[in-house]
Amino acid sequence: MRRPATQSKPAPPGSSISPLMLGLLLAVMTVLAYLPALRGGFIWDDHSHVENNPLLFGPGGLQRIWFSLEAPQYYPLVFTSFRLERALWGVKPAGYHWVNLLLHAANALLVWQLLRRLKVPGAWLAAALFALHPVNVESVAWITERKNTLSMLF
């Protein structure tokens, strides 16, 4: 006796949206949620870490960032990124805010992809909650908190 051909199961609700569109939606939602931060200026220790930090514009700064204790705190990758940005847009805070925001959006996409690969149900929703949760506002809106968004990326 021959077995009948198996019928394919219907797709679960919401699965008709392509992963590319879901990723784009996640990134756009993240950017829109944090748009107000782009109008912010330098706050608290942004002045000493970014605006007035001679390691970001002075001679030998890159070597001093990595091999001395002159930096306000020892975060060489963070200060290297600040030095590069200082060369790109000077002391205009919007550029620094954009980088933090884009790093956070990239991290949300990475969270989603990791959870998808682990076959966690609701992976996209979990990534959206991560992206939009208020606990992350400080890491995105406060320039000096780049260490959080940058370390998660790696």
pLDDT digits (tens, 9 = 90+) for 6-56: 555 554 555 578 889 999 999 999 999 999 988 888 888 888 888 888 888
| Dist. CA 105–CA 27, nearest whole Å | 5
Both structure tokens of 7: 């019928």
pTM, rounded to two decimals: 0.83
Asked if the model's pLDDT at residue 3 lies above 70, the reply is no
- Give me the DSSP letters along 16-67: TS-HHHHHHHHHHHHHHHHGGGGG----TTHIIIIIT-GGGTSTTHHHHHHH
Q: Are 44 and 142 in contact (CB under 8 A)?
A: yes
Under 8 Å between Cβ of 44 and 52: no
Q: What is the pLDDT of residue 7?
A: 58
Q: Are the C-beta atoms of residues 115 and 126 closer than 8 Å to each other?
A: yes
Report d(CA 51, CA 118) in Å as an integer: 42
